[in-house]
Amino acid sequence: MPRLPLINGADARRTLDALFVNAPLRDYALRPRTNDYTLPVLGMAYIATYAKQAGFNVGLLDAEAHGLGVAETAQICNAAAPRWAAMNLLAPTYEMSARIAAKLDPHIALMAGGHHAKAMPDRILADPRMANLQALVLGEGELRVAALLKDQQRRRELPGVLWRDRLLGTRAAGVADPKTSAALLGPDINALPYVDRAFLPQDPYRSAPTAADRRLADRGHAGWRATAARDGHIEANIVGSRGCPYNCTFCGAAVSANPDTAIRVRTPENIISELNQLHAEHGVTAFRFVDDLFLGAGRVIDEQMAAFTRHRIGEKYVWDATGRINVLDRLSDRDLERLVSNGLREVALGIESGSDRILQAMDKRINAEMTERVARRLVSHGIGVKGYFILGFPGETQDDLNATICHIRNLWAISDHHSGDVRASVFEFRPYPGTPVWHTLIEAGHTPDALLAYGDVDLTGDGAHESMRQRDEFNFSVGIQFGDIPLQRIRATLATLTREQHQRNQDRREAAA
């Protein structure tokens, strides 16, 4: 049997039924990566875990995490000789995926899924580099991928599975049984097995201690021993729900782009059981909830925190989560205190802009005043805030950009007077197919080819210095000026704000040392 270098989770003694391949954000053979950590591909790992539980021998090759080039990724896949290669197609990495697919041994059947597959299936099926694509799986794939691994011919009876009829040159699709379609397309997330971390090369991982960690230790937080505060935690990422009820115009998870996705939240007991399992098996004591709803719906927050309190989660673990500003704005001080006592360390917020005009165009359902109010309340309770911002949104003017710069600095100033910190993460706008703003841009005369021409932007030079290196892989662009502001000014502003945040991080670390 061939050795399986850099392939996670596979049994090298058995024939490989499927190799799941996460394409790199760029070809690292041309410019090596500088970041040493990337978020794990939890969706792909869920599918691999389900297939493994069904008895198949599967592995995961995370080319992004390993910093691989296109040719090396294809070589590893061909050497492993799986029956199937499976890819998650995303707009920024589609070109990398297609180039890898074109280099695969023709004896390896190809299946693909992901947001880009759902948004542009016909374009993918017509791509000659995807000539060996035997199944394009739209939506959540656990049950249908396992069915395909058992018998490729089952694609004819699986909903949301497409392929190219080679004789007719037309799209073919599975004809589903109405009685089973709903379960296949939206599985019961409480019945799915917990993600097998053997498939993930960087999760769990050991983190460096944060200022929030030290604050908790100083308070004598029951879940924090002195060694944990000094050395950092073993951390893991986790998903508490699927689907999003919001319609932010730039987001691939927008409800209008996913009308067939049922919103489902895992039960508190199911989540807590996974937390305890990760602690028992890997020593994990810190978690990051990466889904949209964990702190994005009042009912969910109340239900989860009641269970966390019963199980005394805050005495054992700390955790971070994404949140919705408009939802957090409605929480009482008592609600925030309960979040802290249950271990909340930091909330990631899609703030996006300091311009109310742009926020309205994004359909964010917030304004800058609300964001500042929420941030002030969070940091006053010792909860950190990580704010995400978009520069260069369609229609953005210099006044809008100035408002965002001012907004970020106001948030920093607020945190300077409280125990919680505010971190700003700034990105250049890029369009994703299927989103509301994508359709707006197409109607305005932009072509899909132009909107899909993603390229990486090297901001590690030009005065951006080390502050950009830990996020270098995420600097990519389609090279189009969508608002009134030239791209070079957008990128210079991005670099300046990132440099300032980097300095603030250093100052915080030195002050806490």
- CATH number, domain of 307, equals 3.20.20.70
Tell me 165's DSSP state: E
Structurally, the chain folds into a number of domains equal to 2
CATH of the domain at 130: 3.40.50.280
Residue 472 lies in a domain: no
Strand 161-165 and strand 170-173: the pairing is antiparallel
Instruction: Report the distance separating Cα 231 and Cα 182, nearest Å.
Output: 46
The answer to whether residues 36 and 139 belong to one domain is yes
Whole-number Å distance between alpha carbons of 102 and 100: 5
| Residue 475, in any domain of the structure | no
Question: Residue 272: which residues within 8 A CB-CB, separation 6 or more?
Answer: 307, 308, 311, 313
Q: What is the reported pLDDT for 209?
A: 59
Q: Which two tokens stand for residue 228?
A: 């944990």
Mind giving me the DSSP string for 189-210? TTTSPPP-GGG-TTSSEEPPP-
Under DSSP, is residue 76 helix (H, G, I), strand (E, B) or coil?
helix
Query: 179 and 227: one domain?
Result: no
First to last CA, the chain: 51
Q: Where a domain ends, among 185, 218, 248?
A: 185
- Rounded Cα–Cα distance for residues 177 and 156 (Å): 11
CA–CA distance, 353 with 303 (Å, rounded to integer): 31
Q: Are 111 and 163 in contact (CB under 8 A)?
A: no
Is residue 404 a contact partner of residue 389, using CB atoms and an 8 Å limit? yes
Q: Looking at the structure, do residues 220 and 155 belong to the same domain, yes or no?
A: no
How many whole angstroms separate alpha carbon 281 and alpha carbon 198? 11
Token couple for 233: 């935690």
User: Considering 151, 185, 219, which residue would you say is the last residue of a domain?
Assistant: 185
Measured distance CA(444)–CA(431) in Å, rounded: 13
In three-state secondary structure terms, 140 is coil
Residue 474 counted as domain residue: no
E strands, 262-343, in order:
264-265, 286-289, 318-323
Answer yes or no: do 230 and 363 share one domain: yes
Nearest partner of 144 among 171, 180, 120, 118, judged by Cα: 180
Q: Are 41 and 200 in contact (CB under 8 A)?
A: yes
Residue spans of the chain under pLDDT 50: 1, 215-230, 463-464
| 104 close to 79: Cβ distance less than 8 angstroms | no
Retrieve residue 114's tokens.
Answer: 């992901």
**Cα 413 to Cα 296: distance, rounded to the nearest angstrom:** 26
The verdict on residue 177 lying in a domain is yes
- Considering only CA atoms, which of 396, 400, 403, 405 is closest in space to residue 493? 405
Instruction: Tell me, rounded to whole angstroms, the distance of Cα 230 from its chain centroid.
Output: 28
Q: Which residues of 363-382 are buried (b: 16+ CB within 10 A; e: fewer)?
A: bbebbbebbbebbbbbbbbb
Confirm whether 163 is domain-assigned. yes
Residues 62/102, Cβ–Cβ less than 8 Å = no
| Residue 217 shares a structural domain with residue 334 | yes
Pairing relationship of beta strands 241-242 and 264-265 according to DSSP bridges: antiparallel
Strand runs (DSSP E) across 84-137, as ranges?
84-88, 109-113, 133-137
Are 165 and 69 within one domain?
Answer: yes
- The verdict on 93 and 226 lying in the same domain is no
Q: Are residues 212 and 119 both part of a single domain?
A: no
User: How far apart, in whole angstroms, are the C-alpha atoms of residue 379 and residue 55?
Assistant: 48
Residue 346 pLDDT: 96
Element (H, E) at 21: strand 18-22
- Do residue 153 and residue 301 come from a single domain? no
Q: In terms of domains, do 304 and 216 share one?
A: yes
- Do 164 and 264 fall within a single domain? no
Q: Which of 390, 423, 440 is the last residue of a domain?
A: 440
Cα–Cα distance measured from residue 289 to residue 291, given in angstroms and rounded to the nearest whole number: 6
φ, ψ dihedrals at 236, nearest 5°: -145, 150
Q: Is residue 473 part of a domain?
A: no
Residue 489 resides in a domain: no
In the three-class reduction of DSSP (H, G, I as helix; E, B as strand; rest coil), residue 425 is classed as strand
Beta strand 344-352 with 384-391: parallel, antiparallel or unpaired?
A: parallel
Q: Which domain holds residue 221?
A: 204-440
Residues in the chain: 513
Rounded CA gap, 454 and 450, in Å?
9
Measure the CA–CA gap between 161 and 174, rounded to whole angstroms.
Answer: 6
Coil, strand, or helix at residue 218? helix
Structure tokens at 458: 């090297």
Examine the domain organization and report whether 160 and 214 are in the same domain: no
130 within a domain of the structure (yes/no): yes
The angle, 0 to 180 degrees and rounded to 10, between the axes of the packed helices 70-80 and 94-102 is: 50
